[in-house]
Amino acid sequence: MFKFALILTLALTGCLKDETISGRTAPSDVWVLSLIGEAAVTERITIRFPEQGRVTGEAPCNSYFAEQSAPLPWIDLGPIGATRRACPALELETRYFGLLERMALVETLGDTLLMTADDGMTLTYRLEAP
């Protein structure tokens, strides 16, 4: 009986649909940050969802990664890990990481990905053309 239950559990787990944001984007999709709130972003900052539960990206100075397992429409990133290079845009990068960890909701609308914090702050990304 135990073997049957184990096999059934493994079979059902493999059939579960990804209900996180990574299930709504292709692993190769690169989203480029265009707005923080209403302010345009001039430095290149990206985010990707290459597989269920994993987030990666490039900020102005460093590459970063985090875990994310909240089902849509929620997002819960963190803690964010990053390389440790310095550059002139380090202040922006630090601000971005802080904002990213605060995001609570996520949605995709065509070529736009929008994250929203509980206080209404938003991060708006555009899908990069392949």
Query: What residues does each domain of the chain span?
Result: 18-127
| pLDDT, position 87 | 96
| pLDDT, position 130 | 81
**Closest by alpha carbon to 46, among 36, 37, 56, 54?**
56
**Closest by alpha carbon to 114, among 79, 72, 82, 81?**
72
| pLDDT, position 49 | 97
Is there a contact between 30 and 46 (Cβ–Cβ < 8 Å)?
A: yes
| pLDDT, position 32 | 98
Class of domain 18-127: mainly beta
Alpha-carbon span 46 to 34, nearest angstrom: 9
| pLDDT, position 18 | 86
How does pLDDT run along the chain (130 residues), one tens digit per residue? 444 443 444 344 444 578 999 999 999 999 999 999 999 999 999 999 999 999 999 999 999 999 998 999 999 998 999 999 999 999 999 999 999 999 999 999 999 999 999 999 999 999 998 8
**DSSP class of residue 26?**
-
| pLDDT, position 3 | 46
